[in-house]
Structure 1
Amino acid sequence: MKWLNIVLSVFVLLLAIASATCSYFLFEKRELLVKGWGKMAVSLNNAAKDFDKSSGTETAKMLSTEEISHENYDKLDSNLSKFNDQVRKIVKQRDDLSSAVRNTAGIMEMSNIPEQSSFTALDSYERSVPSVIEHISTVKKRYDDTIDQICATGKQIDAPLDAGALKGSRYRTEYTKLSNRISAMDSKIKSYDAGYRRLAGLTNVKLANSDFEYSAINATTNKLQAGITTIKNDLKTAQSLVGQKDLAIAEIQKTVDLKDKQIAAERIAARKLKEHNNTLLQLLEKEGIPRDIKLWEDGSKDVRRALQGKVIEVDEHFGFIVIDIGSATKVGQQLGPKIAYFSPRITDNAEFMVVRDLDKDDSRYIGRVKLFKLSENNSYAKQIAPAVKAEKIRVGDFVFLPDDAIEAMSSAKTEPAVAK
């Protein structure tokens, strides 16, 4: 029993020693954990402070070392969620900014734009972002240079522009000033071109489209000046000729004055002739001849319609007839109690119509004949249209010119045949 007590005492002692040893080591471990927790709290607080910089947030105040110390373990989940939210927002902001940078590069027409991951990865963004900035800087410089050149051009063409307005919201208004000025200059150039072309036409200078290029304008002007010089020389020559012509005109004027005197004398004679003509007309009226009667003319249709003759011989052996119409035949026009005679001017190929008993009510058509020989007092003809059945041309039949023959003779306007 004694030994059992000793053993139990020793065992209890050993347990006490072990417990004391474990307590010591646990205390040491706790101290390490508390220190580690404190360092973690400081790191988190410092990270929150870094995140708060220029972010407009105050997460670091809510994540103070006291708030996230081991003594506030119960609040740890709530406090850490605020940090996690901020981290997510910053990551989203990073991704949005990287997308914006990449889209900006695209808008600025950058070639070989880095991938999205190149702007978010920590080991590559420092290389990718400067390349975009460099490209934008180049485009900006080119844009500024272009604006400066546009302003310089506007100044050259008397259209001053405001560079600030070109870069601002009023850029369209400024560009309109330049556009309007260029349009006005273009209209003026076209007007000058048209003037040059008209001047070239007046000076007989041959110009091609290439002569109106800006590079050839001086040469074109020289061509026109040469043409104008030629015209001026021609004008001097013409003025000299005009002077000579003036002298000739003066001589002609003398002749005209002389002719005017002759015309005046002839007018006096014409007036006297008119008075004499009126006297004759009065005498004609006393003789019963109307004053307004129209006289026939030789070879007129009226004379030819009034022409009438007869068959005076029929030669059946040789097949021709003779009519009493010749080149000397006249046709009379009744003028009151007087008769005026006119020549029908028969041609040697004229056609006549043959009619029997023309002076009776039962006159009838016999045929048509065509002259082949014209004498002074008669003509010879052959029949060209067949006679009416059982009828032959005979002596005493009447002959006259049909309308178609009169029209043919009038349209031909041939000279009258000479008697053979």
Structure 2
Amino acid sequence: MTDIQAAVLPKAIKGVDIVAAAKTGSGKTLAFLIPAIELTNRVLDIKGTCTIIISPTRELAMQTYNVLQQLVVLNKNITCALLIGGESKKKQAMDLAKGAKIIVATPGRLLDHMRSKEFVFANLKCLVLDEADKILQYGFEEDLKQIMNLLPDNHIIVVTFGLNTIYIIADIDYILQWSVDYPNVAYLNSSSGGSTPPVLRVPRSRHSRCSFREFVATRSLDIVLGKMNQMERTKTMQDFYSAKTGTLFCTDVAARGLDIPAVDWIVQFDPPGDTSEYIHRVGRTARGIGGIGNAVLLLRHEEKGFLKYLQEAKIYVELYKMWDDYENHQPMLENIIENNNHFKELAIEAYESYIRAFEVRKLKDVFNLMALDLDVLAKSYGLKEKPEVDIRIGFKKKHRARKRIAALLENNTNAPKSIKL
């Protein structure tokens, strides 16, 4: 039993509201699943759903659901349902109508079903908010507020955070004000501490991902990002879980909570937004007690200021400067791009996407659009000249609305502006 499990299990089983923070890979999932199953098992005679577990991403919800199914496989009285986007809403409604006792869901799809007659949750006994800080960061606060308002009052709440969440106290206060009484909350903190596929962390943009994929098409490579439909995402993750070797090339949709066995390397092709995100990215390797893994962070010259934030968070890294030791492949890269219209289009899209990614960055002193050497950036994509890009610095609803809202709250940004680069 890990430290966080030893701290959470006795209190949660007794019905105490819990706020738990622990390092990634320290066993938080079992820490809330076991009490959820135990509390559900005590009230199987009531009508409707007894426990709801909310996750910030589909992948994390699916992983939690799979672990849950393994735990209840011998208990035929506990039925479970998974409510996530990209899957059949009709089938999910049928599972709810049959009286699924434990629900694992993402916020948006859960709220959709809560508005239907098939979903009976008036007798709810346990609510779990897994990776609650990410639920808020991904812009689900309004959905979560509506969910909490619809739920009955007589249930316990278990809230889990990453140990190094920067705004953990503010997030806790923000969540708990909707639901539980502060005197009844137990704040728990834990610091517990092969030949397999590496994981590549890459830009938030799908265009950069597409451009890179074309160049490495001959390699053993899997792709996961938010724009994929759920069937593709599920199949890709299943393939990677079962692979003996290979690479997962992904956006931050796979950066948190996923427990992929024995990952050797995490390569962050684009830097994370903050130190908390860094910790959760590299936390996909060295899983569990005694786990061993490696992580590499690639930084452009303009992004070196991020190292200061890592040091302030007591994250110490070794600095390597070795690009000059290798042969200059720039002429070859430019020749390939210039003579292949398809690659050139992808490179331009990736360049534009990289620039626009700065709109939602938190650390503006590090990720400053005005400080970028755009000529050098264009050359890094094999472009001899920088394309003209119309950048909208602001928060248009049509483009990544949730991240824009989160960044707006974080930076208190003024009215939108338009510039051309």
TM-score by length of 2: 0.15
Which protein is bigger by CA-based radius of gyration?
Answer: 1
TM-score by length of 1: 0.15
